[in-house]
Amino acid sequence: MTPDADRLPRREVGIIVVTGSESTGKTTLAADLARHYGTTWVPEFARAYLGEKMATTGQPLDAGDIEPIARGHIASADTAIARARRLVVLDTDLVSTMVYSRHYYGTCPAWIERATRDRLGDLYLLCDIDVPWLPDPARDRPHHREEMHRLFVGGLDALGARYVTLRGSWDDRRTTAISAIDAL
């Protein structure tokens, strides 16, 4: 990958990223916001990647999966951004890849860390953990929600990302998200 391939292609497109730890409603909110704004949303690449890996090998993710996941996030986002007119909604991005890589494996490849900084979205909607945790084959951290949430806050702060924390009921989260996006 060339250095320029790691940079987010900029157009007159607002990039909204729904982020946070597992089981906080990111996917539902991302799809809902895309419908509200009549635009495209990009599903979480890591979830699809894990599903494919489990189906073909029966193995969980490992450190060797971080780079393919990052490349998948980049390709998915770039495709959506190229097609969008004014706004695109991403269900996670490289921030999640970086946070989870550091958490599970103690490190993150340097090129992913650079790309994460270079490709920051315009606004991050950080979903809080004040909603029930729902079991799912891709989820494994029900007792570590506070720790994971702190890692996301720390990651966004360290990157200097603009973010709004979404709390409360699903309606409250949606209303806060729409207000934050409209303020852009």
**What is the rounded CA–CA span in Å between residue 27 and residue 163?**
17
- Residue 184: per-residue pLDDT: 87
Alpha helical stretches, state H, the chain: 26-37, 45-57, 66-83, 94-105, 110-118, 145-159, 170-183
pLDDT in tens, the chain (184 residues): 444 455 555 458 999 999 999 889 999 999 999 999 999 999 999 989 988 998 899 888 899 999 999 999 999 999 999 999 899 999 999 999 999 999 999 999 999 999 999 999 999 999 999 987 665 655 566 667 889 899 999 999 999 999 999 999 999 999 999 999 999 8
Domains of the chain as residue ranges with CATH? 3-183 (3.40.50.300)
Element (H, E) at 16: strand 14-19
- Residue 133: per-residue pLDDT: 65
**What is the rounded CA–CA span in Å between residue 169 and residue 182?**
20
- Residue 134: per-residue pLDDT: 64
- Residue 105: per-residue pLDDT: 95
Q: Per-residue b/e over 144-156, b at no fewer than 16 CB within 10 Å?
A: ebeebbebbbebb
**What is the rounded CA–CA span in Å between residue 9 and residue 40?**
16
**What is the rounded CA–CA span in Å between residue 166 and residue 63?**
30
- Residue 135: per-residue pLDDT: 57
